[in-house]
Chain A
Amino acid sequence: DQQVKQNSPSLSVQEGRISILNCDYTNSMFDYFLWYKKYPAEGPTFLISISSIKDKNEDGRFTVFLNKSAKHLSLHIVPSQPGDSAVYFCAANSVTQGGSEKLVFGKGMKLTVNP
């Protein structure tokens, strides 16, 4: 049973436009969400996170939106740059309900930003 779902395996956008990456989750106990970025032949790197007490978190060109009622979060990249081309993973955890340190990851989405 997949608790964190990234239903679209890939996305292609033009440089300068907005990239929107979506993530859905099924476990209502999740209260902390993270996005990771992965380049080929490298390990994933942390990008941005959001706690369930917020509905938006912004860091430069990256903004994550959380809709708890829909169990949905999205990552917006504006403007998109060719260097943003990578695989993006959504991850979730339950940090306030006696959960563990484990993160549950989605399967990833490959973003391609075309010059």
Chain B
Amino acid sequence: EPEVTQTPSHQVTQMGQEVILRCVPISNHLYFYWYRQILGQKVEFLVSFYNNEISEKSEIFDDQFSVERPDGSNFTLKIRSTKLEDSAMYFCASSGGTGGGEKLFFGSGTQLSVL
């Protein structure tokens, strides 16, 4: 079964450093998403991406965050200057775009720890 792949599985960084979280979506998917889950809290939507541009973003997704699909296969989330509160599990998801979430596939996540 096709799957969404995320690397690394764990990332430790110092506060103020830039991090890039990487995702390889399912190959024929067109819609891409990032969600995050702070420890003990619910999974929260960050951003959706389609046709090489952001289609929607949450209020969490401020100027410190950016997304990119650099080479047609990878989908990245960059945090420019990490804060302690950015520590969370970040999930990438992709979809064939049938709408409504019924074809959404999640990766296994990257645990980001900001020290």
A interacts with B? no
Residues of A within 8 A of B (CB): none
